[in-house]
Amino acid sequence: VKENEPQKLPVSSARLESLGDGIFAVAMTILILDIHLPTNLHIHTLRDFKQNFSPLLPNLLCYIISFIVLGIMWFGHRMMFEYISRMNRYFIFLGVLFYAVICFVPFTTKLLASDTEGWYNILLYGLNLSICNISLFAQWAYGISNRNLMHRELPDEVRRQANLLFLLSPVVYSIAIIVALWFPVISLWIFVVTPVLYLLPNKLDKYLP
C-alpha cells in the first residue's frame, strides 16, 4: 500500500558537485602555492636566473603534471553527472572518499617533487593518482547500476569507453611503479605522457556539443 511508502526526497547532485568544485579549486591552487621561491632572490644576470630557477624545474614539472591530471579528473567527475543526477547516502560517501584522495594529491606531488627518482616517492604518487581514478570509477559503477540515480539513458558505447578511460590510468601507473624499480626516469616520462592520452580525441567526443 502506498501510504506506508516513504516519500522519496529529490536529492540532487548539485551540492556534491559544488563541494567538489571547491575542493578541486583549493587543491589546484595549493599545488602551485607549494613551489617555494629561493630565499635569496637577486636575479641580475641570466646565470643568476638559471641558478635560482633550475632547482625549481623538477618541482614545476611535477606540479604541471598534477594540475593537468586534476583537470582531467575534474572533467571525468563533471561528465559523470550528465548521467547521474540524484544521490543517495552511498553515492555521497563514495564522493567524499574521492575528494579525500584528491586532497592528497598536493601532498604526494610535493613528495615526488622532493626526489623525482625515489622509488617510494613514485610509488606513493602513482598509488595516489590510481586510487583517485579507481574511487571515481567506483562512484560511476555504483551510480549507473542504480536506476533511481540516473537521469538519462546510458548508451552502451559510452559505458564501454568510460570503463576504458577510468581503468587506463591505474593500469599505466602500476606499470610506472614497477618500472621505477629499475628506471625511475622512464616512470616520470610515463607520468608526463599518460595525461596526454586523455587529451587526444576519443569516441566519446561525439556526444558532446
Instruction: Enumerate residues 171-200 that contact its own copies by CB under 8 A.
Output: 199
Q: How far is the CB of 110 from its own copies (least distance, A)?
A: 6
Question: Segment 73-102, which members bind its own copies (CB under 8 A)?
Answer: 74-75, 78-79, 81-82, 86-89, 92-93, 96, 99-100
Helix or strand run (H / E) with residue 41: none
Question: Segment 57-76, which members bind its own copies (CB under 8 A)?
Answer: 64, 67-68, 71, 74-75
Answer for which of 2, 182, 196, 206 binds its own copies (CB under 8 A) is: 206
Cβ-based neighbours of 27, under 8 Å, separated by 6 or more? 70, 102, 103, 105, 106
Radius of gyration of the chain measured on its C-alpha atoms? 20
Answer for which of 51, 57, 114, 183 binds its own copies (CB under 8 A) is: 114
72-100 as b/e: b if 16+ CB within 10 A: bbbebbebbbebbbbbeeebbebbeebbe
> Site mask, its own copies, residues 17-36, x = CB under 8 A?
xxx-xxxxxxxxxxxxx-x-
